[in-house]
Chain A
Amino acid sequence: SQQGEEDPQALSIQEGENATMNCSYKTSINNLQWYRQNSGRGLVHLILIRSNEREKHSGRLRVTLDTSKKSSSLLITASRAADTASYFCATVAGYQLIWGAGTKLIIKP
């Protein structure tokens, strides 16, 4: 079962530009989490935003959550080559995290 869906599926931008990825989900949530995965590696947790929060920051990352629209966005400012990765949102359904298919982000030098 797929709860979260990221948009776009792929994004290619120039280094220094901002990157925005979106996540939509279907059911009410406890929290929503964003993770990064470098090619062929495990996932790394970026940010957790709770259902009663609207915005959260961590360094160059900004996450927003709109529970009325059942959507979240991840903004990466001043992108760097090292940001090239796949980004996944995950929402809680019962005892599980339900994952979207991810956005593949490519930062061009």
Chain B
Amino acid sequence: DGGITQSPKYLFRKEGQNVTLSCEQNLNHDAMYWYRQDPGQGLRLIYYSQIVNDFQKGDIAEGYSVSREKKESFPLTVTSAQKNPTAFYLCASSKGASYNEQFFGPGTRLTVL
């Protein structure tokens, strides 16, 4: 089955630690995205990548970093510089441009202890 996987589903982090969220897709999509969702709110774009070895900052990139070394993979690192990292993180991909339909993974819920 084609789709997007995210791991882990739940993640707990101590203050001052960096953590990396995994996102893998086997849809052969060029574009991938990371969103943050806070309770009762819509999605906010953290980073996006339209092609391997290239990525751009979204609206709330501060305190986050990404890499895109393979087409299938787009990991997100939440660094200790992110002031309020507790949130639900969603990874998505699309065929071509971002104005096409986006396919989402199941999400990772990050909690800072």
Contacts and interface: CB of A to CB of B under 8 A. Distances in A.
- On whether the two chains bind one another, the answer is yes
A13 interface: no
Contacts, number: 60
A34 to B, nearest CB: 11
Nearest to B103: A45
Interface residues of A, number: 23
Interface residues of B, number: 28
B48 A95 contact: yes
Interface of B: 4, 6, 40-45, 48, 50, 56, 58-59, 88, 90, 92, 97-107, 109
Contacts of A48: 100-101
Nearest to A92: B99
Given A42-B106, A101-B41, 7 more contacts: A41-B107, A42-B104, A95-B50, A96-B58, A97-B43, A97-B99, A99-B43
